[in-house]
Amino acid sequence: MSANASANAHTASNTITIERLNKSYADLKPGSIHYIIKDIDLVIKGGEFFVLLGPSGCGKSTLLNIIAGFVSKSGGNLRVGDEEISKPGRERAVVFQQADSSLFPWLTVRQNVEFGLKMKKMPKEQRRAISDKFIRLVGLFGHENKFPRELSGGMKQRVQLARVLANDPSILLMDEPFGALDAMTRRTMQKELSHIWQETNKTVIFVTHDIQEALLLGGRIAVMSHGPNAHISDIYDVPMGYPRDASLPEFQALHRTIQSHFDAELEGTMYP
């Protein structure tokens, strides 16, 4: 197989196809079906950096958790490549907003990063080479032997990211991963993630309600309508290279366009 054919095959196997996807918690309102998200149609191509943007409570995490296989769908189809998905899989990994709940406090940075590899019974030297690579990539070189309690919020988030990357999933599902960080650390992490994504060719679905963050990172940005019955109300292409400069007129113009769309969605939330 040629390099191009192999890259295309890889891209196709990482493509996420969502058709008429619904989620309801029927038990919430007995006698009526209450949809959190309704009739979502999306195709996220392998290797794409795709952002889900929407007002608080609209159903972004619900959609991400269905893709992760943590939450069951109520209807519709969900495929990775050709395979119908209904439970978690090794090819998909989730990065949460709070690193605290995902790190093991009794393990060092290195042991946390190597945890999944150890579970897979990978030999020690191989584990060490992989953890070295990703600890360096996220800028934690020199902190390998520290415990989570000795780290700042940003450093913990880097450990979470290094651990996820060490397991080499082809799809990264990121639920407001930088939402709890201060502005400077957040910007640094955004730059690092963008760099890592360009290096690794992973499919990323990134949830945020920050338009600037969406525009700094995403190749496409889907705006979700407010719930209930939330759906994808529009998708914006971001025709700008990386690294992105928020002061450029085209960046600001797209920011204004998405902001007015977002404001209209919020207005709908406040004055239904």
Ligand X SMILES: Nc1ncnc2c1ncn2[C@@H]1O[C@H](COP(=O)(O)OP(=O)(O)OP(=O)(O)O)[C@@H](O)[C@H]1O
Which residue number, 65 or 108, has a Cβ lying nearer to ligand X? 65
Q: How far is the CB of 221 from ligand X (least distance, A)?
A: 15
Q: How far is the CB of 231 from ligand X (least distance, A)?
A: 13
C-alpha 90/C-alpha 85 separation (Å) is 12
Which residue number, 60 or 158, has a Cβ lying nearer to ligand X? 60
C-alpha 261/C-alpha 221 separation (Å) is 12
Would you tell me which residues interact with ligand X (CB under 6 A)?
25, 28, 36, 54, 56-62, 209, 227
Which residue number, 57 or 153, has a Cβ lying nearer to ligand X? 57
Q: Per the structure block, which two tokens stand in for 89?
A: 């899989």
Q: How far is the CB of 262 from ligand X (least distance, A)?
A: 13
Which residue number, 25 or 141, has a Cβ lying nearer to ligand X? 25
N residues, the chain = 272
- Return the closest-CA partner of residue 109 out of 135, 137, 90, 88: 135
Q: How far is the CB of 21 from ligand X (least distance, A)?
A: 13
Does residue 151 contact residue 143 with C-beta atoms inside 8 Å?
yes
Q: How far is the CB of 41 from ligand X (least distance, A)?
A: 18
Question: Rounded to 5 degrees, what angle do the CA atoms 149, 152, 158 make?
Answer: 100
Which residue number, 64 or 189, has a Cβ lying nearer to ligand X? 64
Which residue number, 61 or 190, has a Cβ lying nearer to ligand X? 61
C-alpha 146/C-alpha 167 separation (Å) is 21
Question: Rounded to 5 degrees, what angle do the CA atoms 158, 217, 208 make?
Answer: 75
Which amino acid makes up residue 166? Answer: A
Q: How far is the CB of 227 from ligand X (least distance, A)?
A: 6
Which residue number, 15 or 22, has a Cβ lying nearer to ligand X? 22
Q: How far is the CB of 62 from ligand X (least distance, A)?
A: 3
Exposed/middle/buried for residue 14 (C-beta within 10 Å: 0-12, 13-18, 19+): buried
- Return the closest-CA partner of residue 112 out of 70, 92, 140: 140
C-alpha 56/C-alpha 9 separation (Å) is 36
